[in-house]
Structure 1
């Protein structure tokens, strides 16, 4: 289950060209890479997932778990992966 703020989702789509609906599809990618987002984990544990979305784009999605449930909550902005991040994933440009 995924939850997010609608206003944040709209702002992110305008800024990065990635909808949150597209972003959550990286959680279906069996080859995706997960890791901690140490730089942004001061108030709560945050994570980053590098994976391929259903539309074929390689994305970075920052997420956290809600404290009250095990739902993944996208709080930060999903964006297209950089060239270096795509190389780490193994994607060809």
Structure 2
């Protein structure tokens, strides 16, 4: 199961042109823990494709539920590094 913040959803659509709800369509090729900063909770980045386009999903897990934070097109460098 998953849920997301409606305000984050609106920001994601405005900024990246895709709904956080599309995370379920992500054909995941790799998941890496994002420990670049102390976010106060474990954070992960998943790389894969939606409709043949490479995407990066940032998410956490709260109360045994996936919580998408951001969904955007992945950079070619990211896909080469994490999901060749």
Deviation at 1:11, TM superposition (A): 1.1
Structure 1: runs of 5+ lacking an equivalent: none
TM-score, with length taken from structure 1:
0.77
List per-residue Cα deviations over 1:69-88 (Å, max 9, x = no partner).
Answer: 211111x2111000112333
Q: Number of paired residues?
A: 83
Structure 2: runs of 5+ lacking an equivalent: none
RMSD: 1.6
Contact 1:48–1:62 (CA under 8 A) maintained in structure 2: yes
TM-score, with length taken from structure 2:
0.84
Deviation at 1:42, TM superposition (A): 3.4
Q: What is the correspondence of 1:24-43 to structure 2 with a 5 Å cutoff?
A: 24-26=24-26, 29=27, 32-43=29-40
For 2:71 and 2:15, the matched residues in 1 are separated by 10
Evaluate the alpha carbon distance shift between residue 57 and residue 71 of structure 1 in structure 2; reply closer, same or farther with a 3 A threshold. same
Deviation above 4 Å: which 4+ runs of structure 1?
none
Evaluate the alpha carbon distance shift between residue 79 and residue 40 of structure 1 in structure 2; reply closer, same or farther with a 3 A threshold. farther
The answer as to 2:66 corresponding to 1:60 is no
Q: What is the correspondence of 1:1-93 to structure 2 with a 5 Å cutoff?
A: 1-26=1-26, 29=27, 32-53=29-50, 55-66=51-62, 69-74=63-68, 76-88=69-81, 89-90=83-84
